[in-house]
Amino acid sequence: MKTVIFDLDGTLADTSGDLIAAANVCFEGLGLGALLDPASDAGTALRGGRAMLKLGFSRVEGFGEDEILRQYPILLEAYARDIDTHTVLYPRAMDAVEALKVAGYGVGIATNKPEGLAEELMRRLGVRDAFASLVGADTLPVRKPDPEHLFEAARRAGGDPALTCLVGDSDTDRNTSKNGGVPSILVTFGPSGEDMAALEPEALLDDFADLPAVVARLLD
């Protein structure tokens, strides 16, 4: 079976608001105030917890890598408490997923978000059952950009890893597909959308309504 595997943060859903709120819990706990801005720092948020902590601590004196390691579990706890307060699925994302399934493709998720958090978020958004697989950052000994992360998501969705493509929003997603020798489709509607063309993916996606046609061109 041919499969379409999706990244989660910044691809299927804009999770940046809840991620930044969790990071700011850490900074506020240290008496530093809210060091990250939900609008201007959204792109960093979608690169994960450590990236947010690194950015925030770069704006003040006296905090280094050791503090990032100490604060990361606190960030995860804060995020788990309020994982879907601001998060929204991108327009027409689930319509595209259903159209792909009707067309005979398997669909799954390969995310560098911890598996438990990804599962919880998808359940709260009411869309977990739409995906045949979900592989998180800690599901395997490796994660993106190692292509095995993508390939395992394809296998668990009932597909052939050689006949898959990855829909994502970052250089990590582009490198994952490139390392695996399969196509990538990068979305342009996320916070870093204007940077996607420079990564030279096999396709750019401006609107999820166009995804089924793009996938058919790349995989059929």
**Catalytic positions:** 7
**Are β-strands 88-89 and 13-14 bridged in parallel, bridged antiparallel, or unpaired?**
antiparallel
Q: Which residues touch 162 (CB under 8 Å, ≥6 apart)? A: 181, 182
- Which among 200, 218, 188 is positioned nearest to 5, based on CA atoms? 218
Q: Which segments of the chain does DSSP mark as H helices, in order? A: 16-29, 42-45, 49-57, 65-81, 93-102, 115-124, 147-156, 171-180, 211-219
Q: How far is CA 176 from CA 28, 93, 137, 201, 215, in A?
A: 35, 21, 13, 11, 17
